[in-house]
Structure 1
């Protein structure tokens, strides 16, 4: 209502301006004709005339009305260069700020909601360098000032910043026009003020800040490198530290464009994904899924199916799977591709030099560019008594050879949920403890389904639970926990409050799966002064460059997403920006990032969740399709889960998609492609999907959206038309 009232007030004011022909008073001819009268008024009542003029100028500027240029000339004609410049400078800045605030109040929230994804990069740039860009625009009067006022109101720039930058930035143009006003009698038209030479001067003035910024950046870069002697020649074009997903892709790309590249790995090729993460966990999940299918065989009409668990053989298969995938990431393969692979511990000793400790001795390489892709490691929680009990992380879990009868999983994230369900599936008694709830990034409907699936599998799930200590009592290992108050949200104020007595949870093995932390120590970052973020990752710009532009980083060591596919995605930008430094660079695009949690049912998500949309104030509507209605799901007795799509109200553009069910990770690709290339649900609905397949779920979800937005009035008339056609 406030916005509507303000809009009506503005429309009335603008209407009155034109209804009373005030626009005809703000012309060059009218100003010349009235100059003698205004001079007499000013001589008689100078303070009053200045005050009225000031208020009028503010009003014209605030309402974005035509006439500000004529009023600026009038200020020079009436008040002279000094007083005129002073009056116009403050009046124009105040009026511009009012127009800025009106635009922000009326339009910003709606625009930001509608175009949130597309404006994310612009918003970040404005927050960082908004004053600089506004100053540049203000220096060039070929950009209409009223347009700048309105557009800047849609951005997150601070009001005070907008005011003072406008005050300074518009001063040059103000001086030119006020000075022209002092020579009013000689002016024949406004074009005589803005001559090509003057416009060219303004353009050069506007370019000057850009050139100045470039020079400043060059000076800063020289200062950054000032304490480090630059080699006259380099041994390599690119050195990559870390042979996980990010490092492997970076090295592969460099070799593909015929650069001389060295890849350094201190442990095992393939990194965590191959050796301790994605590959072994999915191999274990496959065995657990088969056993689950055996237990549910009666649903398929099979009676008496059974299977015996041999834990050692299951783990043996896990290691065989690793060995089978290993050649894809091996030293031999990358050597054949043209990459020099060195097994050793790397350490930065200068912006261009890497020292390597190898089994055969130390060596140092120089390189024009360096990519840090050192990944992340599991977090070991600081729990009193943890060192007295048998505990593992997702990294060393795969070395166990005997089945833990009682497994306690600490953590409710994707890794904790996947492994808790998998070990329960192969016959372990699993207790899972989550500080808040499971899968904290997901929506409530997704969480409810996965909680039910975990409990159905036999997992004892304890949410909103705080760990106190580990202890050994009469030879039994136990984790002592207590619950958070269930009626309050989690928060720091609850650290000393509990909702129940202590509970001792016995276990044979404790699996710590509370998250992963970037590997940033031991690589020489401190010696070079490369800063870290608050999250403990390497601080980089949008091009993945660190403090030193030739040193880049990608993958888990940078974040914000710790996924193998994101590391590979970032590696392209890191490698190209390093190899072609000073020629061309590319921003990393993190806007459309899919993720999958490989529980049963799987959880696949791309774009916004409902929780994220609500937190950001983004308007949305939800379209759902339940998989129990899908023919292929019915034939496989697997009709549990749903497809959920978020779109702007009344639009088919996809803001986010969530799929919970079998093969959810595979089904997500269609929505990811659609979001990446701006395809809406109408396009998905118009695509032929083979029958009967799981992929039809996307089409039916799009169909539900279409039915919900069918033009009801048109359908009524169509019904009447067809009735008429029947006679």
Structure 2
């Protein structure tokens, strides 16, 4: 229940080639190969040299005067073909245009011919290689793709203005990106125009040119480079103008009390303030409630403590599986909940005011409100009000349970994943009948834990299955695990209302009829929502949707105000909150020099039911939805020695890879300690290691981690080189005589 409330992917969808498309690509490739072969075998390049051009200039000019349209058309077609084939000679052809046609006509012909030829080369590259490159390197190219989609015209215009970059290379490389064909054409047309004019004009003085370096002098290249920077200078000016407009109605302080003010002391806020203090910035951390935020006080820590107690109770109840005598656990519910709070208290010093004060952070207990982009007003816990001016702000206000608008719910005495810990700690006995609304990770963890402690638990999910973001086989295993623990699972049931009579009842509908569930405790665990109100976002005009809207650097509308963690999304995991905090705080403190885009390429998460469900990257469900070509390799845990020894054979390791490749697109593990086992795949995906590397790594025997190696071995078996093995078999037969 470490805030497992989201999932995403790290791949872009790529087209899966059909047979007809494959044949067309082969045909296009053959035409290109034939054209290039003809160029080199016939040594056509000998006709496109300065000496050859000067030798033929008079003859060409004479023929042009006699047949102007024919020569112009032939020149145009040849120029387009040469550019499309990406062979040398365009520079000589451009000089020839100036020498034969003059500046005006030569520029007109070359400008259109070069742009059309470049676009054809671009399209050929895209048609032949785009899908293959994106399939193999899509995750690594995500930031490039996003940058080109957003600023492709700027990139291309700069490259076209700087002749240092070979134009044929630009054509081929840009074909691998998502830039639109029309954008590519018109930017090329405009971007190459100035260079075309320079070379065409030089061609009118052909007799004076001894080498191409006479044209492309260092001074000229430097001038082009300066021109290439113009779009980016313009972009910077536009951004500066936008910033000025955003800040126009506010008066900026002359001096600042702080370098950074952080709102919220959960995972994101603690990490942000710690980074600021580490680099010797003056930082204030404001927290209205408990230090440590949701994870320490309401989520990760207390839920794992409860889950451990429940697991021990289950092991006692089923000790016969281990050759021991089973017994029904006898316990004090008050003592169990007391242990939960003792564990919170044991972890609490790690996130305490005293620790962070000692680390150099100014910690203030109270409610923060952003008054203007540089001022935070704090209603302190002691009743006083404090105003601080600051260079930058990080919003790390976290999230809170989502409570549905259900008739009668407010009067029912319901609890959420936040409030149940304090409420249940006051009870002498565990509620006998517990209804849990929600089939996601939080609802599933709580349902199983309380059922194992002996409560009659009913878990209600509106959708057709538990853990709907996971694959169907994972959901089936999760449901079986819940039911084996004593949970009654009702999927496809929607809560209609709560009846608060002598006996409290939840009214459900499965689409055809209604029925009621009596309960002693109702736990609402249908999700969490970002905390978006109460600290000044509305007054500042900072846009919010389901979260605070930020750019790829985690900046809001105001470039000095950032958001991180649950309040920023797109994930609601403690570890991603801490991950985002690094980007937000570093950009907030040093963004005037360089800013870093938040990296979401490899995000793992775990649902801590028994058996655990852990995942990183794509699963089958997402791969199908996105049209991502993939193959699946599965290793069942009932074949693993350590799992057999531990009587923990339920589950599997499932890995997604591109067809025929060992690169890991995603991994799902269901089983004991799945969260720990997943780390090997997270590391492999982060650093581009494939299944062959995992298979070649020694794993201790007997351990659960061997499942990862055996999964890699299953992939290897499917891709064994059968032809080579048949040859080797014949070789061994020959050796035997």
**TM-score normalised by structure 1 residue count:** 0.91
Deviations along 1:357-413, whole A, 9 cap, x unmatched? 113211101122221111111111233443354433212222233534333322222
Shift of 1:48: 4.0
Deviations along 1:47-87, whole A, 9 cap, x unmatched? 44333333332222222233222222232233322222222
2:652 is matched with which residue: 642, 645, 650?
Answer: 642
Equivalent residues in 2 for 1:6-85, closer than 5 Å: 6-18=28-40, 22-85=44-107
Find the counterpart in structure 1 of residue 347 from structure 2.
Answer: 325
Mapped partners of 1:12, 1:504: distance in 2: 76
Matched, 1:449 2:477: yes
Find the counterpart in structure 1 of residue 532 from structure 2.
Answer: 520
Mapped partners of 2:320, 2:541: distance in 1: 63
1:397 is matched with which residue: 420, 423, 439?
Answer: 420
- Secondary structure class of the residue paired with 2:116: helix
Matched, 1:667 2:677: yes
Deviations along 1:622-645, whole A, 9 cap, x unmatched? 332221122221121111111122
Mapped partners of 2:472, 2:457: distance in 1: 26
Mapped partners of 1:610, 1:304: distance in 2: 40
Find the counterpart in structure 1 of residue 9 from structure 2.
Answer: none
Equivalent residues in 2 for 1:307-706, closer than 5 Å: 307-308=329-330, 310-358=332-380, 359-398=382-421, 399-400=423-424, 401=427, 403-426=430-453, 427-471=455-499, 475-483=503-511, 500-532=512-544, 534=545, 536-706=546-716
Mapped partners of 2:36, 2:291: distance in 1: 69
Q: 1:170 to 1:464 in 2, by over 3 A?
A: farther
Matched, 1:207 2:219: no
Q: Is the 8 A contact 1:554 1:570 kept in 2?
A: yes
- Secondary structure class of the residue paired with 1:386: coil
Deviations along 1:216-270, whole A, 9 cap, x unmatched? 4334334433333332222222211100011111222222333322110011111
Mapped partners of 2:72, 2:727: distance in 1: 64
Runs of 5+ unmatched residues, structure 2: 1-22
Shift of 1:155: 0.7
- Secondary structure class of the residue paired with 1:546: coil
Deviations along 1:309-336, whole A, 9 cap, x unmatched? 5433332322222222222212222222
- Secondary structure class of the residue paired with 1:387: coil
Q: Is the 8 A contact 1:26 1:70 kept in 2?
A: yes
Q: Is the 8 A contact 1:390 1:510 kept in 2?
A: yes
1:231 is matched with which residue: 246, 253, 261?
Answer: 253
Shift of 1:696: 2.2
Find the counterpart in structure 1 of residue 311 from structure 2.
Answer: 289
- Secondary structure class of the residue paired with 2:418: coil
Find the counterpart in structure 2 of residue 493 from structure 1.
Answer: none
Shift of 1:175: 1.0
- Secondary structure class of the residue paired with 1:461: strand
- Secondary structure class of the residue paired with 2:510: strand
Count of residue correspondences? 709
Mapped partners of 1:352, 1:53: distance in 2: 63
Deviations along 1:481-513, whole A, 9 cap, x unmatched? 234xxxxxxxxxxxxxxxx33444444443322
Find the counterpart in structure 1 of residue 147 from structure 2.
Answer: 125
Deviations along 1:1-44, whole A, 9 cap, x unmatched? 22122222332333344555544433333333333444344434
Moved more, 659-668 or 701-710: 701-710
Q: 1:724 to 1:79 in 2, by over 3 A?
A: closer
Q: Is the 8 A contact 1:113 1:617 kept in 2?
A: no
Runs of 5+ unmatched residues, structure 1: 484-499
Shift of 1:470: 4.1
Q: Is the 8 A contact 2:458 2:490 kept in 1?
A: no
Moved more, 500-509 or 717-726: 717-726
Q: Is the 8 A contact 2:642 2:702 kept in 1?
A: yes
Shift of 1:649: 3.5
Find the counterpart in structure 2 of residue 497 from structure 1.
Answer: none
Q: Is the 8 A contact 1:270 1:330 kept in 2?
A: yes
Mapped partners of 1:643, 1:502: distance in 2: 40
Mapped partners of 2:251, 2:241: distance in 1: 16
**TM-score normalised by structure 2 residue count:** 0.90
Moved more, 716-725 or 301-310: 716-725
Higher RCO (C-alpha under 8 Å, 6+ residues apart) = 2
Moved more, 299-308 or 354-363: 299-308
Shift of 1:476: 4.2
